[in-house]
A and B are shown apart, each in its own frame.
Chain A
Amino acid sequence: MTRAVLEVEGLGKRYATQAGELDVLSGVSFRVDAGESVAVTGPSGSGKSTLLGLIAGLDSPSSGRILVEEQDLAGMSDSALATFRGRRMGFIFQSFRLLPTLSAEENVRVPLELSGVPDARQRARLWLDQVGLSGRGSHLPSRLSGGEQQRVALARALAPRPALIFADEPTGNLDSRTGKEMADLLFSLVVDQGATLILVTHEERLAARAGRIIVLRDGQLVSDSRSAAGVH
């Protein structure tokens, strides 16, 4: 049996609002094995980002349990969670989220240095080469195009060799051609690394490239299926 990287059991998130309590997510359960690529999709307000936040340990659930590499996130302190995220998780965001005052290379080095990796500089340069940005390492984000910024973000996510990569609408701010190039790079590098990808998107074409698609609606998991890419 393949090792589970992520196990979600009966996950729920409830917010108190002026109109009463609101269930944003309820009774969501699924399991993701190592090396899988899973697309989480659904209409706006279906709970995709909430689910991502919970399984990445950015927020705590109201109910249910999350195990990442067999470790229960609920039992971890904030600082332990931060360290765990830095070493075992990588993140790619729609708006790139690069630190504006650091160069491209320094941005890639951030999670490596926070995890205490000794050869952070060399690894950061290596990863910039991998995403096709050799020679652009000293540039500040403001001097890079959107596509280049997202490549830096990809290098930053993969550099610590995480077990899980979370990508939140990674092509949402890119034009279609650059978006496709980015998606190609993302899937090929994730496969090369043997990492697990959790991709949140509302783009059907991008979701279809994942091996498995989870559909959320009104905070509930309504479908969990292998995609054509996964079947092939």
Chain B
Amino acid sequence: MSRGQSGRIWLLIICIAIGVAARVCVGSFTGTVARALADQARPLLGADIEVVANQPLTAEQRAALSELMPTGARTLDELGLVTMALASRSRHAAVVEVLGVERGYPLFGELRVAVDEAGRSPGPAKALTAGSRSVYVQRELLARLAAHVGDPLTLGATQLTIAGILVEDPGLGANPFVLGPRVLVDAATLVSTGLAGPGARVRHLTMIATADPLQGEGVANALRTRWKLPERSATGFGGRVESGPGIAIRTARQSQESVARVFDRLGDYLRLVSLIALLLGGIGVASLVRGFVAERLDAIATLQVLGAPLGRIMGMLFIQAGIIGLAGGLLGGTVGAGVENLMVVLLQGELPAADHHSLDLGAFAWGMILALSVTVVFAALPVIEISGMKPLAVLRGDQSPPRSRLLALAWGVLAIALFTALAVAESHSLTVGSMLIASLVLGGGTTWLVGGAGLAALARVHLPSFGLRHGLANLARPGFRPHAAVVTISLASLLFSTLAVYQESLQHELGEPYRADLPSLFAIDIQPDQREEFKGFLAKEFAMHEVSMAPLVLARFRGLASPASAATAPAAGHEGDGDRASRDREQRLSWREKLGADERLVAGQWMDDRGDRVEASLEKRYAERIGAHLGDLMTYDIQGVCIEATVTSIRAVRWASLRPNFLVLLSPHALRDAPQTWIAALPTLPPEARTAVQARLAERFPTVSTFDVSEAAARIGSMVSRIALAIRFIGLFSLAAGVMVLIGIALSTARERRADAALLKVLGAGRWTLVLSLLAEFGALGGLAGILGQAEAIPLAWALTSRFDLPLSIPLSVLCALALAVALVCAAAGLVACIRVLRVPPLAVLRDG
């Protein structure tokens, strides 16, 4: 029965292949990255074990370390800190992460530097010594400081020389979230800058290399047991340890896992996007098979009359669907692997690269399984429908012979269940997976209904041009069911438009043109006795009189208790999981007289500082995370002094404003005398003035670090853009699947279209009239799908932006452009699908009777 159907069979194969290609591409790519990270676990951390401490290890701790160290192990001490670097020549300053190392660095791998500023021809680095007063820097720092190799670089009050660019530096990639480019310096030289003195936020690192990598985990566990450390510790600003006694132990495997987790999370989302492409392809399969079955009802009925049982005929159709699914899987897998190879080549240098890049057979096999199951499940929908059909009803030409709608509905539910299971498996989350499928079913159903009404309305539009009017009227062509195309294309465009709205909202919040009232620079680590001097300096040197400053008090969170459960001890009230995780963690507290510009009260009342009672105001999400409510008691330890504060208000904070805001605010009288540092937000400045202010502050206050807010905003924007680009790339597969559905539906009415075209030619229509008709029909269909996709994107983006407390900003022009682009793509696809219609000779009108 599939003879003479090669075009349609290819279309079925492509429908499936697109989703599989996306899935195999994502699966292989994440697999490649994971393998690369596993290969490079030791060089990634630069050691088998890293002991990081906020204070130098005590003699007792050193003794324990020596005792537990296996034979043949090597150790190396390092110092790390975040500070300002000033390029003396260009007078530019930037925040950097300085690592002071000893002779013998690195323990694993090789340090390679280049003197060529493009980073070409790197060679083994000359050892850094105290006498050389040289530093190696990451290339991006040179761009930020407008500096060159050989230029002087000031750290603290010490002038050093940039001796080369770091091309390979083991340990550099272990922390994906860094505050600035790395500056590698000899440890003694770093100490001589004075930046690592008492009170400075320094990380003391002890790197350990064992003879056998398998020994690393055992030694780390033994050390943790000895020092009563958790397996994972919380780290904060500049990698400082924020939990427990201020010591953390990390192994090469953990470091590899934490980096891999970032890719895994992105991979989860990309796998879901590829699943959407596969789902849309499945809808295409159902739609094409429905057309195929409808055209062959006579043949099926005839076979039944001749004695073939319907079950056998349906079995044949299932086998054909299975073969097509396997072919789709094979094609998709091959294309996906090819695209992944191309990506690995294109992204060389940006991502960890595997030594041996080969075909990911696991991803390929999973793609085949998906292809087979999705094809059979979706092809079965229209096939099952005919199971209740009587051959006589078909042969006597009944318009609507009875079908097994209930059975088909049950099968549809099964298909949804299958996809929900797949989505849960792909996202590793029951909530995310089931929410995705529920949203798609809800969105698809709504689009089906609204789209159907839209198509009917469009078909009745009376345009003056015959070609356009005929094209629109064709949307109501008997036997033409473009609903599936509208649904699939609108779902695909929904993906793009949601990203556009989200990015616009983020841009609106972070982008410079919109931030006239927001700060340009943050300065941190201002000591209380430097406050007035700092303010005076800015007023005198830069005429900045409106510098807002906020205090930071470092405290340890000791517990949460609810007075309602009076029988329980304060620290063990209704403590939640989040609270347990937060216990003993360092936290930055602050105080302010009144609510900030980015805050609003969502519960309780703003604190009254007149009495003795200490009040706490918590950020909404933080309160939810730790399970705190109004009236609860929170206990903090500030350098040995315990403070109990009653939660009297909950605040919603717009974090994306990038102004100084805090999770916990306490009554001012409780913190005023506590050890504190200050953070300053400097008003809006043009970029060149920012550079000058940073440089002058670095000179005048070497221990104060200044961050360019727009740089941070740009970094966030760039990160979101990269993620959005990856999602868009995989989203293109969804759009392609949607277009395939459209082509399939167009082809299902090819015979009628050819007859119409021949007739129109006979009646005097030229080629342009026919082209116009096709463009109007498919353009309108695409436009409708695009508009529905954009309309649905707004509530979706609203939900997304609300999650991150971003005000919704709708880029109308972008959404209109997207809808137009979808309309154009559909018009072009429809024209290509029906190109043969244009070539039909008018004589055909006579041949067909």
Task: Identify the A interface with B (CB < 8 A).
Answer: 49, 52-53, 56, 58-59, 78-79, 82-87, 91, 93-95, 97, 99-102, 106, 109-111, 113-115, 142, 156, 168
Contact = CB atoms under 8 A, between A and B. Distances in A.
Contacts of B469: 106
Nearest to B762: A91
A79 B766 CA distance: 6
A115 B846 contact: no
A85 B848 CA distance: 20
B478 A52 contact: no
A110 B845 contact: no
B410 interface: no
B765 A114 contact: yes
B845 A58 contact: yes
Nearest to B469: A106
A58 B763 contact: no
Given A85-B763, A102-B470, 4 more contacts: A49-B847, A99-B756, A111-B763, A142-B478
B846 A58 contact: yes
7 contacts: A56-B762, A58-B842, A86-B763, A99-B760, A100-B478, A142-B478, A156-B763
A208 B755 CA distance: 31
A82 B845 contact: no
A82 B840 CA distance: 13
Nearest to A83: B764
A1 to B, nearest CB: 30
Contacts of A79: 766-767
A51 to B, nearest CB: 10
A217 to B, nearest CB: 19
Contacts of A156: 763
Interface in B733-773: 752, 755-756, 759-767, 769
Contact of A86 (B473, B764, B846, B848): B764
Contact of B845 (A83, A97, A111, A113): A97
A87 B763 CA distance: 9
B466 A53 contact: no
A177 B845 CA distance: 26
Interface in B761-803: 761-767, 769
Contacts of B843: 53, 58-59
Interface string B446-472: 000000000000010000001001100
Nearest to A141: B478
Contacts of B765: 82, 86, 114
B389 interface: no
Contact of A100 (B477, B761, B762, B848): B477
Given A53-B843, A86-B763, A110-B466, A101 B849 contact: no
Interface in B257-291: none
Contacts of A106: 469, 473
Given A82-B765, A85-B764, A101 B474 contact: yes
B841 A58 contact: yes
A85 B762 contact: yes
Contacts of B769: 114
Q: 3 shortest A-B CB distances, which residue pairs?
A: A86-B764, A101-B473, A114-B764
A111 B846 contact: no
Nearest to A114: B764
Nearest to A79: B766
B759 A115 contact: no
A93 B845 contact: yes
B310 interface: no
Contacts of B459: 101
A110 B769 CA distance: 11
A180 B752 CA distance: 29
Nearest to B848: A95
Contacts of A86: 763-765
B760 to A, nearest CB: 7
Contacts of A52: 846
Nearest to B472: A101
Interface in B510-534: none
B10 to A, nearest CB: 27
Interface in B469-502: 469-470, 473-478
B846 A110 contact: no
Nearest to B842: A58
Contacts of A53: 843, 846
Contacts of A91: 762-763, 845
A114 B763 contact: yes
Contact of A110 (B477, B763, B847, B849): B763
A114 B466 contact: yes
A181 B478 CA distance: 29
A82 B766 contact: yes
A93 B755 CA distance: 12
